[in-house]
C-alpha cells in the first residue's frame, strides 16, 4: 500500500496535535484520553483487531449524554483539518528537482502534442484566445461548513504555507505554530452548524466571497500562465481582450422549487453583485493610481488627459470617482428604486477603455514591463468579471410557466393552456410573439404565483443585458416550453435577446431532446429571435435519480450526439450546458476527464457547466487550488475542441445499449418496484433528519411524496452518510454481470481502453465503490432498521458486492483503486476518523427517533455535527 507523502503526514499530525491541545485545554486530559481510545480502537478495528473493535464500542457506549457532542465535534474538526492539509499539499512549494504538478504542466504538454499533430501556431493562439468557458456557481445544499469557519480554514492553509520553508528560524516556526493554535482554538470554539437556514441572499454573498478571496487573484494568474505557456510554444501572445474563463451564478436566481427565491431577491442579488464588483475594482484602481506615477505618455493619452504632470494618475482618479459613484448608487438602490446618475458605469467598455489606454500608452513609451504587471491583471479581471462580477442565471420549472399561461388564457377567454396539445400551444405562442399588441391589459390582476412569474420576467427585462446569463427551464420537454418563456419575457417588456434554455432532465426527455430542438429550430420566426448559439442544458442529477447512472450516462451521451447533429443540420451553433453535481450519482467526477469523454463535436470551443455545493470550496476556495482547476478546464476544452475523442464503434454502441437497458431494469426493480424500498430508505439513512439540517435555502423536497419527490441532492447525501452509496452504482452490477455472462468481457476491456466515455464512467464507478463500506452500511441496518426490512438491506449489500466484483473483473485488479494507491490510502486513513462518527451517528439517530420532539439540544446538535463530519470526510457527498 502506498505511503502518504511525509510532508502531508507531518502537516496532518501538526494540526491534529494542536487540536488535541485545544481539546485538553477546555475539557481536560481524561476526556482527551477517551478521544484517543476511540481513535486507536477505530484504527485497530480497521486492521481486523477484535480487541480494537471492542475498545471502540465500549468507549462509545460509555459516553455520557454531555460527551456526545464534544466527541462528534472532535472527529468532525479533525476531518476538516485533514482536508486543509490535503488542499495545501496540492499547491505546496516544491523542491527544484521535483516535477511540477500535472495541473501546471497540462497546457504546455497539450500545446506540444497539438503542434506535433499538425496544428499551426496561429491556429492554436486563435483558438485559445476564443475559448468560452463559463463556470456557473450554484448554492446546492451540500456545503455544510459555515462561512466563518471556512475563513478560519483558509487562514490555516496560509499558515501551512508560511511554515513551508526550510530556512525558518526556531522563533519564526514557533510563531507560525502559535498562530495555527489560535486559529484551531477559534474554530473549536465556534459552532459548526448554523442556527438557521441561510437565505438566498446569504448564499449569493457566499458565492461573492469565493470570488473576492480566491478567484479574483487566481484568474489573472491563470491567464498570465496561459500567455507565457502559449508564447513558449508558439511565439504568440494571448490577446489583451481574451476572456476564455468567465463565471455565472444560480445563487439568487434559481427559483425551481424554492419559494424563497423571488423577483425581489433576484433584483437584490444583481445589485449586490454590482456593489461588490465596484468595490473590488476600486481596490485595484487605488493601487494602480498609487503605482503609475510616470510622466511619459502617448499622444492619445495626452489628448485624453490634457496637460498634466502625472497623466496616468489623472485618468485613473477619474475612473476611481466613477467606481465610487457606481458603488454608492448600487447601495442606495438596494433600499429603493433609484435611477443611476451619469457618473455610474453602465457598460463594461467604460471600465476597460481607460485601463487599456494606460496599457497601450505605457507600452508605446517603453514601459511595457510596468504595463504587464498589476495593470494587465486588472484588465484581465475587467474582461472576465465585468461590471457585474457574475452573470445571474434565472431558473424556473416549466410547470410554473404553463400554469401562468393557463391562467392568462383562461382570463382571455381562450380556454386552459394546460389542456392544449403541443400544436395548439405552438400556434398560439407564435401568433402572440409576432403580435405587436400586449397580451394582457394593464388592469389584469394575476394570482400570487402568476404575479411572481411575471415579476421575475420584469426583473429580467429591466436588468442590463451583461448582468444576466441564461433563463433555464427545468423539466423542459417540448418547444412550447421555450416559446412560453419568450412570450412572458416579451410581455414584461424585454426588447433584447436572452438565452432561453431548455433543461432536459428525465430519461424520456433526454431521449426526446434532439427531436424537440429540431422542431424548435424549424419554427417560423424562432431563428430571428435566437441571436447567437442555441443553448441546451443536459441534466445529470434527475436523470440519474430517474434511471440510475448506467442508463442516464448513456442517455446524456446520445442526447448530446443528437443535439450536435440537429444544430449542424440547421447551421446553428450549439452551446451545451452541463448540470453536473459533485458526486458520481449526479454526474460528478474529475472535470478534465469528464470533458475529454464528451461526444465528438459537443465541445466546440464553448463549455458551460455548474459548480455545485461543497465542490466550489474544494475546487476554488484557495487561489492556488483554483488556478490548478482553471488550468484543467482550459486544457481539456482546448483538447476536446481540436482533438476530440473518436466516434464510438458500432459494437460499442450496441454493448452500451445492452448495458443501459440492463442497468435501467436493475435500478428500477429496486427503487421503483420494490414495495419495501421507500420505507427501508427512510429507516436506514438519515434522510428525514437531513431535512432539519439548516444547509441551503431550498427545501429538501419539491412536494410531498416518496423518493420521486426528493431532490437529487438529499437523495444522494442520505445514502452517502451510511456508506451504501446506492445511487452511484445501482444498476451497474446487473449491467456488467450480464455482459460478462454473455462473454463480452474482452469487448468491455477494449471499450475501456479506447473509448474515453466508457473509461471515465468505470473510473468514477470504481472511486465511489472504494468509498462505499459494507460493514458500516450493515451497522446502520442493525441499529435503525426494523427486522422485516433487513433482508432488503442484505440484498442491497449483496448487489454492492457484485458491483465491486464486476469492476474488478473488468479492470483485472485484485482490489479497487489498485492503480491509484495514494487515493486508496487517503480513504483508508480517513476511515479511522469516520468510523467513530458513523457509530455515533447510528446511535444518535436511534435516540433521536425515540424522541417525539426534536428540540435543539446536545443530542440533536451532535447528530447534525456527525452529518457535517461525515460529509467533510467523504468530501464529494452531494
Give 233-242 pLDDT, tens digit per residue. Answer: 999 999 998 9
pLDDT > 70 fraction of the chain, expressed in percent and rounded: 94
Rounded average pLDDT over 807-813: 95
Residue given cell 502625472 in the structure block: 310
878 — pLDDT class (breaks 50, 70, 90) = very low
Closest CA to 647 of 557, 744, 555, 575: 557
Q: Alpha helix locations (H) across 597-729?
A: 614-620, 623-642, 650-671, 677-684, 687-690, 712-721, 726-729
Give 454's DSSP letter.
Answer: H
Query: Would you say 19 and 84 are in contact if contact means Cβ atoms under 8 Å apart?
Result: no
Q: Among this protein's residues, is 619 annotated catalytic?
A: no
Query: Would you say 694 and 197 are in contact if contact means Cβ atoms under 8 Å apart?
Result: yes
Rounded average pLDDT over 78-93: 89
65-91 and 147-162 helices cross at what angle (nearest 10)?
Answer: 50
What does the alpha-carbon distance between residue 703 and residue 708 come to, in Å, rounded to a whole number?
9
Higher pLDDT, 590 or 796: 796
pLDDT for 489 beyond 90: yes
Backbone phi, psi, residue 536, to 5°: -135, 135
Output the CA torsion 447→452→455→457 (10° steps).
Answer: -110
pLDDT score of 297: 95
Closest CA to 284 of 309, 319, 310, 311: 319
pLDDT score of 697: 54
What does the alpha-carbon distance between residue 367 and residue 710 come to, in Å, rounded to a whole number?
60
Backbone phi, psi, residue 349, to 5°: -65, -30
What does the alpha-carbon distance between residue 174 and residue 159 come to, in Å, rounded to a whole number?
11
197 — pLDDT class (breaks 50, 70, 90) = confident
pLDDT score of 850: 84
Higher pLDDT, 430 or 191: 430
pLDDT score of 3: 61
pLDDT score of 875: 75
What does the alpha-carbon distance between residue 702 and residue 383 come to, in Å, rounded to a whole number?
38
Helix (H) or strand (E) holding 606: strand 606-612
Helix (H, G, I), strand (E, B) or coil at 589: coil
Rounded average pLDDT over 711-726: 85
Q: Which of 140, 213, 499, 592 is flagged as catalytic? A: 140
Higher pLDDT, 826 or 277: 277
Closest CA to 725 of 830, 784, 804, 660: 804
Closest CA to 102 of 628, 842, 550, 775: 628
Q: How far is CA 209 from CA 191, 280, 379, 811, in A?
A: 20, 11, 21, 42
Degrees, nearest 5: CA angle 577-582-588: 60
Give 584's DSSP letter.
Answer: G
593 — pLDDT class (breaks 50, 70, 90) = confident
Domain 266-387 has CATH 1.20.1440.90: yes
Give 610's DSSP letter.
Answer: E
Query: Would you say 250 and 138 are in contact if contact means Cβ atoms under 8 Å apart?
Result: yes
What does the alpha-carbon distance between residue 839 and residue 789 come to, in Å, rounded to a whole number?
20
Higher pLDDT, 709 or 232: 232
pLDDT for 443 beyond 90: yes
The gap between the terminal CA atoms of the chain, to the nearest Å, is: 29
Q: Is the pTM of this model over 0.75?
A: yes
Q: Which of 34, 490, 545, 771 is flagged as catalytic? A: 545
pLDDT for 597 beyond 70: yes
pLDDT for 493 beyond 70: yes
**372-429 pLDDT, tens digit each:** 999 999 999 999 999 999 999 999 999 999 999 999 999 999 999 999 999 999 999 9
Beta strand 468-474 with 391-397 is parallel
Contacts with 275 (C-beta within 8 Å, 6 or more apart), sequence order: 327, 330, 331, 334
- For the chain, what is the radius of gyration of the CA atoms? 28
Chain centre distance of CA 158: 24
**445-461 pLDDT, tens digit each:** 999 999 999 999 999 99
Q: Which of 1-5, 89-93, 656-660, 820-824 has the lowest mean pLDDT?
A: 1-5
Query: Would you say 249 and 136 are in contact if contact means Cβ atoms under 8 Å apart?
Result: yes
Please provide the average confidence, as pLDDT, over all residues in the chain. Answer: 91
823 — pLDDT class (breaks 50, 70, 90) = confident
Rounded average pLDDT over 313-327: 97
Rounded average pLDDT over 795-820: 95
What does the alpha-carbon distance between residue 165 and residue 159 come to, in Å, rounded to a whole number?
11
Residues of the chain with CATH 1.20.1440.90: 266-387
Closest CA to 207 of 154, 143, 157, 258: 143
Query: Would you say 446 and 263 are in contact if contact means Cβ atoms under 8 Å apart?
Result: no
What does the alpha-carbon distance between residue 581 and residue 559 come to, in Å, rounded to a whole number?
19
Q: Which of 8-12, 98-102, 532-536 has the lowest mean pLDDT?
A: 98-102
What does the alpha-carbon distance between residue 120 and residue 127 come to, in Å, rounded to a whole number?
11
Higher pLDDT, 848 or 553: 553
Contacts with 216 (C-beta within 8 Å, 6 or more apart), sequence order: 280, 381, 385
pLDDT for 141 beyond 50: no
Query: Would you say 6 and 24 are in contact if contact means Cβ atoms under 8 Å apart?
Result: no
User: Could you tell me how many residues make up the chain?
Assistant: 878
Closest CA to 385 of 533, 284, 263: 284
What does the alpha-carbon distance between residue 558 and residue 597 come to, in Å, rounded to a whole number?
13
Beta bridge partners of 138: 612
pLDDT score of 150: 81
What does the alpha-carbon distance between residue 585 and residue 256 come to, in Å, rounded to a whole number?
20
Helix (H) or strand (E) holding 282: helix 263-291
Closest CA to 358 of 377, 343, 345, 375: 375
Rounded average pLDDT over 296-302: 95
pLDDT score of 588: 41
Beta bridge partners of 500: 471
What does the alpha-carbon distance between residue 304 and residue 316 come to, in Å, rounded to a whole number?
12
**757-773 pLDDT, tens digit each:** 999 999 999 999 999 99
Q: What is the DSSP string of 751-768?
A: HHHH-HHHHHHHHHHHHH
Q: How far is CA 361 from CA 294, 300, 317, 549, in A?
A: 11, 8, 17, 56
Q: Among this protein's residues, is 140 annotated catalytic?
A: yes
pLDDT for 581 beyond 60: no
What does the alpha-carbon distance between residue 306 and residue 294 come to, in Å, rounded to a whole number?
15
Amino acid at each position: 500500500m502506498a505511503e502518504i507523502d511525509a510532508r502531508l503526514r507531518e502537516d496532518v499530525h501538526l494540526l491534529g496535535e494542536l487540536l488535541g491541545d485545544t481539546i485538553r485545554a477546555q475539557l481536560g486530559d481524561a476526556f482527551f484520553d477517551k478521544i484517543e481510545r476511540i481513535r486507536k480502537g477505530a484504527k485497530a478495528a480497521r486492521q481486523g483487531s477484535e480487541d480494537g473493535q471492542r475498545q471502540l464500542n465500549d468507549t462509545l457506549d460509555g459516553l455520557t449524554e454531555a460527551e456526545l457532542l464534544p466527541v462528534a465535534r472532535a472527529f468532525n474538526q479533525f476531518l476538516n483539518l485533514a482536508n486543509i492539509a490535503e488542499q495545501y499539499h496540492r499547491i505546496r512549494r516544491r523542491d527544484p528537482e521535483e516535477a511540477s504538478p500535472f495541473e501546471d504542466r497540462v497546457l504546455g504538454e497539450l500545446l506540444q502534442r497539438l503542434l506535433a499533430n499538425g496544428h499551426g501556431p496561429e491556429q492554436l493562439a486563435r483558438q485559445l484566445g476564443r475559448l468560452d468557458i463559463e463556470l456557473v456557481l450554484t448554492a446546492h445544499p451540500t456545503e455544510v461548513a459555515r462561512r466563518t469557519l471556512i475563513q478560519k480554514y483558509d487562514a490555516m492553509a496560509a499558515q501551512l504555507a508560511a511554515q513551508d520553508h526550510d530556512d525558518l528560524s526556531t522563533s519564526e516556526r514557533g510563531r507560525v505554530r502559535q498562530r495555527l493554535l489560535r486559529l484551531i482554538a477559534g474554530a473549536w470554539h465556534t459552532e459548526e452548524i448554523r442556527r438557521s437556514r441561510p437565505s438566498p441572499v446569504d448564499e449569493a454573498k457566499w458565492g461573492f466571497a469565493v470570488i473576492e478571496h480566491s478567484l479574483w487573484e487566481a484568474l489573472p494568474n491563470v491567464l498570465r500562465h496561459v500567455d507565457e505557456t502559449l508564447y513558449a510554444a508558439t511565439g504568440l501572445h494571448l490577446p489583451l481582450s481574451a476572456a476564455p474563463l468567465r463565471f455565472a451564478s444560480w445563487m439568487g436566481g434559481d427559483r425551481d422549487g424554492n419559494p424563497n427565491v423571488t423577483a425581489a431577491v433576484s433584483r437584490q442579488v444583481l445589485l449586490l453583485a454590482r456593489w461588490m464588483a465596484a468595490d473590488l475594482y476600486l481596490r485595484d484602481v487605488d493601487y494602480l493610481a498609487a503605482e503609475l506615477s510616470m510622466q511619459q505618455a502617448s499622444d492619445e493619452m495626452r489628448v485624453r488627459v490634457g496637460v498634466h504632470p502625472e497623466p496616468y494618475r489623472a485618468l485613473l482618479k477619474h475612473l476611481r470617482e466613477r467606481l465610487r459613484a457606481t458603488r454608492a448608487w448600487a447601495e442606495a438602490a438596494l433600499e429603493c428604486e433609484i435611477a443611476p446618475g451619469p457618473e455610474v458605469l453602465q457598460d463594461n467598455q467604460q471600465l476597460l477603455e481607460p485601463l487599456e489606454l494606460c496599457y497601450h500608452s505605457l507600452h508605446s513609451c517603453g514601459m511595457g514591463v510596468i504595463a504587464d504587471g498589476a495593470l494587465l491583471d486588472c484588465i484581465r479581471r475587467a474582461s472576465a468579471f465585468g461590471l457585474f462580477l457574475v452573470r445571474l442565471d434565472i431558473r424556473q420549472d416549466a410547470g410554473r410557466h404553463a400554469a401562468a399561461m393557463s391562467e392568462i388564457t383562461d382570463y382571455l377567454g381562450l380556454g386552459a393552456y394546460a389542456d392544449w396539445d403541443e400544436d395548439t400551444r405552438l400556434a398560439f405562442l407564435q401568433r402572440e410573439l409576432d403580435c405587436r399588441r400586449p397580451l394582457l391589459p394593464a388592469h389584469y390582476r394575476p394570482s400570487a404565483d402568476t404575479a411572481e412569474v411575471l415579476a421575475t420576467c420584469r426583473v429580467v427585462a429591466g436588468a442590463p443585458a451583461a448582468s444576466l446569463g441564461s433563463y433555464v427551464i427545468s423539466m423542459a420537454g417540448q418547444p412550447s416550453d421555450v416559446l412560453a418563456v419568450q412570450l412572458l419575457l416579451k410581455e414584461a417588456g424585454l426588447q433584447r435577446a436572452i438565452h432561453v434554455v431548455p433543461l432536459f432532465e428525465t430519461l424520456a426527455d433526454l431521449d426526446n431532446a434532439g427531436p424537440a430542438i429540431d422542431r424548435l429550430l424549424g419554427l417560423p420566426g424562432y431563428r430571428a429571435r435566437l441571436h447567437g448559439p442555441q443553448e441546451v442544458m443536459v441534466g445529470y442529477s434527475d436523470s440519474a435519480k430517474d434511471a440510475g447512472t448506467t442508463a442516464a450516462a448513456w442517455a446524456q451521451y446520445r442526447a448530446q450526439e443528437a443535439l450536435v447533429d440537429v444544430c449542424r443540420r440547421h447551421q446553428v451553433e450549439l452551446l451545451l450546458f452541463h448540470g453536473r453535481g459533485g458526486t458520481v450519482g449526479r454526474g460528478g467526477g474529475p472535470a478534465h476527464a469528464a470533458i475529454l469523454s464528451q461526444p465528438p463535436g459537443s465541445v466546440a470551443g464553448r463549455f458551460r457547466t455548474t459548480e455545485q455545493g461543497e465542490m466550489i470550496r474544494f475546487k476554488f476556495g484557495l487561489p492556488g487550488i483554483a488556478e490548478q482547476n482553471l488550468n484543467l478546464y482550459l486544457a481539456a476544452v482546448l483538447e476536446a475542441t481540436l482533438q476530440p475523442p473518436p466516434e464510438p464503434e458500432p459494437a460499442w454502441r450496441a454493448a452500451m445499449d445492452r448495458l443501459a437497458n440492463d442497468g435501467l431494469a436493475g435500478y428500477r426493480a429496486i427503487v421503483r418496484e420494490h414495495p419495501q424500498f421507500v420505507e427501508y430508505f427512510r429507516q436506514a439513512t438519515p434522510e428525514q433528519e437531513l431535512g432539519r439540517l439548516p444547509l441551503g435555502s431550498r427545501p429538501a423536497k419539491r412536494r410531498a411524496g416518496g423518493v420521486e419527490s426528493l431532490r437529487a441532492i438529499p437523495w444522494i447525501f442520505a445514502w452517502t452518510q451510511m456508506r451504501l452509496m446506492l445511487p452511484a452504482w445501482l444498476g451497474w452490477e446487473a449491467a456488467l454481470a450480464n455482459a460478462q455472462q454473455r462473454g463480452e468481457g474482452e469487448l468491455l476491456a477494449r471499450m475501456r481502453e479506447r473509448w474515453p466515455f466508457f473509461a471515465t464512467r468505470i473510473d468514477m464507478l470504481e472511486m465511489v465503490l472504494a468509498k462505499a463500506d459494507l460493514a458500516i452500511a450493515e451497522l446502520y441496518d442493525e441499529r435503525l432498521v426494523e427486522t422485516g426490512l433487513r433482508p432488503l438491506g442484505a440484498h442491497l449489500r449483496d448487489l454492492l458486492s457484485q458491483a465491486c466484483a464486476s469492476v474488478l473483473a473488468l479492470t483485472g485488479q485484485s482490489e479497487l483503486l489498485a492503480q491509484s494507491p495514494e487515493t486508496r490510502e487517503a480513504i483508508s486513513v480517513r476511515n479511522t476518523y469516520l468510523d467513530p462518527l458513523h457509530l455515533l451517528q447510528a446511535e444518535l439517530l436511534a435516540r433521536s427517533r425515540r424522541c417525539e420532539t426534536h428540540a435543539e439540544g446536545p443530542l440533536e446538535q451532535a447528530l447534525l455535527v456527525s452529518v457535517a463530519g461525515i460529509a467533510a470526510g467523504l468530501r464529494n457527498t452531494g
